[in-house]
């Protein structure tokens, strides 16, 4: 019989083989590259929605077209819990590397499908149906990607700088979104507007598919996580969904609550913000894209700073700051962005929101990984995250646009602030995972 610690982690796991500094950096970079491409492919849809919405949903005004496109965006999120469940189980049973390779292969298929898909004029009602199917495949992929990459990078990061190294998981997430915007900016300047709206938007999805092929090769050569190898050798209980709710209910619902607020705020401040700047503030598409890209660049660069800070003061502290400040400033800052006509002012206000949110995003992956033992960690990180992300993150644009359509736009700001206030109360109940982490390997 295998002796176990109180948290359910086999004692033998602490004896997992150590990782050399070079191997650690190679693993972090390899995992990050794949994460970047996965999220680029995902966010290309949102970044180019202003251009392809009318091709698949030709009826109605701009808000109506964006509303229908946002609904398909949400459909992709609804597939993410299923992807999280299946890939999380696969990562806990077959290995983190195998799961990472599978997820990027599915994302590749989804991106190439959108790149070559006929529009409504050619296929009629089949065009939006096929768009939904492609987003479902991408949703399955990304649902598995988050848990597998968050778990892998947290396990490979090492004890003393786990917050810093694991923050690259979210840094590359933002980099993927920023890359999608960068591709949009380049195409806006290289192609005539008519060509970009007619067919140029397809280039972004073709690029994503090609990059995914490269990452598939890279991930095939990654080292396996010592945490997984030790858990497999110890004969720990096989991962299954019911374990989360029977043995780790508090951890599971904590992740759900924190992710609900973090995902809602993230999509409100980033993907929806581009449309908000055009549709509400009155900026041109080019101006909105530039503001979004600039704010995302700042956001990306401060993730490792918050990650390193969390190694010193604790993940709990940065989370409490993020949700308390977010609940306080969302309404006034969003209200001001809505009425400003100065691009620099809008940029500063968006950056302020993202600086606050970074207290959550920089540490969310490692915090979740530290709450679970290795034999159920990938599923534990992925499933409650994907459920909350689907419900709150995936619906953010749709709900925001419905508030606008009903002439109650400020109601969306209140909604975001309220959910963040609830997450603040949950964060107060957390343990100090810097000290009580269930990742026992260095």
pLDDT of residue 10: 41
Spatial contact of 160 and 311, defined as CB atoms under 8 Å apart? yes
pLDDT of 332 > 60? The answer is: yes
Number of separate domains in the chain: 1
Q: What is the mean pLDDT of the chain?
A: 85
Q: How confident is the model at residue 2 (pLDDT cuts 50, 70, 90)?
A: very low
Question: Is 258 a domain residue?
Answer: yes
Question: Is 53 a domain residue?
Answer: yes
Longest CA–CA span in the chain (Å) reads 69
Q: Distance between CA 433 and CA 261 in Å, rounded?
A: 20
Q: How many other C-beta atoms are found inside a 10 Å radius of the C-beta of residue 31?
A: 28
CA-based end-to-end distance of the chain: 25
Question: Is 24 a domain residue?
Answer: yes
Residue 74: half-sphere exposure toward Cβ, Cα within 13 Å: 18
Question: Is 8 a domain residue?
Answer: no
For residues 97-106, average pLDDT: 87
Q: How confident is the model at residue 230 (pLDDT cuts 50, 70, 90)?
A: confident
pLDDT of residue 8: 43
Higher-pLDDT residue of 55, 207? 207
Q: How confident is the model at residue 204 (pLDDT cuts 50, 70, 90)?
A: very high
Q: How confident is the model at residue 403 (pLDDT cuts 50, 70, 90)?
A: very high
Q: pLDDT digits over 67-101, tens only?
A: 777 777 777 777 888 888 888 888 888 888 888 88
Question: Is 13 a domain residue?
Answer: no
Spatial contact of 360 and 65, defined as CB atoms under 8 Å apart? no
Q: pLDDT digits over 337-394, tens only?
A: 999 999 999 999 999 999 999 999 999 988 888 888 877 888 888 889 888 988 898 8
Question: Is 441 a domain residue?
Answer: no
Range of the domain at 204: 19-436
Sequence-distant (≥ 6) Cβ neighbours of residue 291 within 8 angstroms: 277, 283, 343, 346, 347, 350
pLDDT of residue 424: 98
Question: Is 11 a domain residue?
Answer: no
Higher-pLDDT residue of 416, 177? 416
CATH of the domain at 105: 1.20.1250.20
């Amino acid at each position: 019989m295998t002796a176990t610690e109180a948290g359910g982690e086999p004692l033998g796991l602490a004896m997992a083989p150590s990782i050399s500094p070079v191997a650690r950096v190679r693993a972090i970079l390899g995992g990050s590259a794949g994460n970047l491409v996965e999220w680029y492919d995902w966010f290309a849809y949102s970044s180019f929605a202003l251009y392809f919405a009318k091709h698949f949903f030709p009826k109605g005004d701009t808000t109506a077209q964006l509303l229908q496109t946002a609904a398909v965006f949400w459909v992709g999120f609804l597939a993410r819990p299923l992807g999280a469940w299946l890939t999380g189980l696969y990562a806990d049973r077959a290995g983190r590397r195998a799961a990472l390779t599978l997820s990027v292969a599915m994302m590749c298929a989804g991106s190439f499908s959108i790149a070559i898909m006929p529009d409504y004029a050619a296929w009629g009602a089949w065009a939006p149906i096929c768009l939904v199917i492609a987003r479902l495949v991408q949703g399955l992929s990304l649902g598995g990607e988050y848990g597998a990459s968050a778990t892998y990078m947290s396990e490979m990061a090492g004890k003393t700088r786990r917050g810093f190294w694991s923050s690259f998981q979210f840094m590359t997430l933002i980099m993927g979104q920023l890359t999608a915007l960068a591709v949009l900016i380049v195409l806006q300047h290289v192609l005539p507007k008519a060509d970009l709206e007619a067919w140029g938007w397809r280039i972004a999805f073709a690029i994503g598919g090609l990059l995914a092929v490269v990452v598939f090769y890279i991930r095939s050569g990654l080292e396996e996580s010592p945490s997984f190898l030790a858990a497999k050798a110890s004969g720990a209980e096989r991962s299954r969904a019911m374990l989360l709710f029977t043995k780790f209910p508090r951890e599971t619902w904590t992740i759900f609550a924190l992710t609900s607020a973090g995902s809602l705020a993230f999509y409100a401040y980033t993907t929806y913000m581009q449309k908000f700047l055009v549709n509400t503030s009155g900026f041109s598409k080019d101006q909105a894209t530039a503001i979004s890209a600039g704010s995302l660049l700042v956001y990306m660069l401060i993730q490792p700073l918050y990650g390193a800070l969390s190694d010193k003061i604790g993940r709990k502290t940065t989370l409490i700051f993020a949700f308390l400040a977010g609940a306080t400033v969302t309404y006034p800052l969003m209200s001001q962005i809505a009425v400003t006509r100065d691009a620099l002012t809008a940029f500063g206000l968006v950056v302020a929101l993202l600086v606050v949110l970074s207290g959550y995003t920089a540490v969310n992956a490692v915090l979740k990984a530290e709450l679970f033992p290795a034999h159920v960690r990938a599923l534990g990180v992925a499933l409650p995250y994907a459920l909350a992300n689907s419900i709150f993150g995936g619906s953010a644009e749709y709900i925001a646009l419905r508030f606008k359509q009903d002439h109650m736009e400020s109601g969306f700001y209140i909604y975001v602030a309220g959910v963040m206030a609830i997450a603040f109360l949950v964060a107060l109940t957390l343990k100090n995972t810097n000290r009580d982490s269930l990742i026992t390997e260095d």
